[in-house]
Amino acid sequence: MNAASRALEGVKVVEIGTLIAGPYAASVLAQFGAEVIKIEAPDGGDPLRSWRKLHEGTSLWWYSQSRNKKSVTLNLKDPRGQQIVRDLVKDADIVIENFRPGTLEEWGLGWDDLSRINPKLIMVRVSGYGQTGPYKDRPGFAAIAESMGGLRYLAGFPDRPPVRVGVSIGDTLASLYGVIGALLALHHLKSNGGSGQYIDVALYEAVFGVMESLIPEYSGFGHVRERTGASLPGIVPSSTYPCRGGDYVIIAGNADSIYKRLMKAIARTDLADDPRLARNDGRAQHTALIDDAIAAWTKERELAEVLATLEAAEVPSGRIYTAADIHADPHYRAREMIETHALPDGKALDFPGVVPKLSATPGETRWLGPALGQHTREVLAAIGIGEGSYAELKAQGVI
């Protein structure tokens, strides 16, 4: 791809963070052309390098999340390492960090310090509870944020303890809010003649921000939404139903016209034509009746037959995908959502494609997550650190 066709070509990002929330935000920017300089500790780097499944000692997750980034090792506890960050920030557009509030300030790298160096700087600050408030000094992780934000309480079945989604969704939501904030701030800076600013993203607020009508329902009616297993309360029908052979199907027939088509497809014209069930508010009062009718039909049929019947009736439905299902699905391939890339030893592996799809300036994977410190010499040379100084910094453990 021509560099001119990258949406964020010319945008320089300095990433000072580890694991997921800050680094994932930077990875999104990197996929669309931003130059992302990832600062890592010389003694091991980002812990994500050794998380989950490893190939030749390096995490496959690392290769995916850190694609297109430049790895620079710096000891941020050393004043010389701190000064190098200040030098990098002089012409940076965005800094992304996810340390506990106050940590960067202790190193002389907080918002006040860096914005004095570069008044046009945009700084994305991701933390568990935000930069202010009585909880700001607490350590924050996605698991806690998902609980405080209201998500965990709703996940699972009513007769069992709350469960978690199998990914760190709280971190990812915070990352995406960080990207939105950074792009909003860039627009304000470049189109409205504004100044630099910082974006304060709290993990729990990122989760809370997608909790739909949770608070208005409590405020207006004292209603506390509860766990409901596979169904979506008040939206009928929308649930998971058993098929013959042990498979399950997801059916979302909650729009009024779709509901009618669904009932006719399962030979329940009586329910399709019942005036009580013509609108969702009426169906919500008869959820069990409708769900039982659908389940009675699905459990007598194989998943393939159920899906074929519902597709013909234009009723939204689908199987519950495993990783194997995703990998084999032709739609994923047609949409370039599975990409094949070579690891450093030449082994070919598949990785997720880039989201979203831009027609004129699409994102791309230029390289996978780099080796620790792979770009240190290149990046430091660009800010005037010559070979002699580089060798000295390396010998003294600064890089």
pLDDT tens across 73-127, in order?
999 999 999 999 999 999 999 999 999 999 999 999 999 999 999 999 999 999 9
Flag whether pLDDT at 2 surpasses 80: no
Residues annotated as part of the active site: 171
Quick: pLDDT tens for 151-203: 999 999 999 999 999 999 999 999 999 999 999 999 999 998 889 999 999 99
Region 203-227: what's the mean pLDDT? 97
Given pLDDT bands bounded at 50, 70 and 90, which one contains residue 242? very high
Region 25-37: what's the mean pLDDT? 98
pTM of the entire predicted model: 0.93
Go through the domains of the chain in sequence order and give each one's CATH number. 3-209+334-395 (3.40.50.10540), 238-321 (3.30.1540.10)
Q: What is the pLDDT of residue 350?
A: 98
Region 6-20: what's the mean pLDDT? 97
Quick: pLDDT tens for 329-350: 999 999 999 999 999 999 999 9
Mean pLDDT over each residue of the chain, to the nearest integer: 96
Region 288-293: what's the mean pLDDT? 96
Q: What is the pLDDT of residue 75?
A: 97
Given pLDDT bands bounded at 50, 70 and 90, which one contains residue 1? low
Flag whether pLDDT at 3 surpasses 80: no
Q: What is the pLDDT of residue 110?
A: 97
Flag whether pLDDT at 24 surpasses 90: yes
Q: What is the pLDDT of residue 113?
A: 97
Flag whether pLDDT at 250 surpasses 70: yes
Percent of the chain with pLDDT over 90: 96
Residue 355, both tokens: 């989201």
Q: What is the pLDDT of residue 194?
A: 84
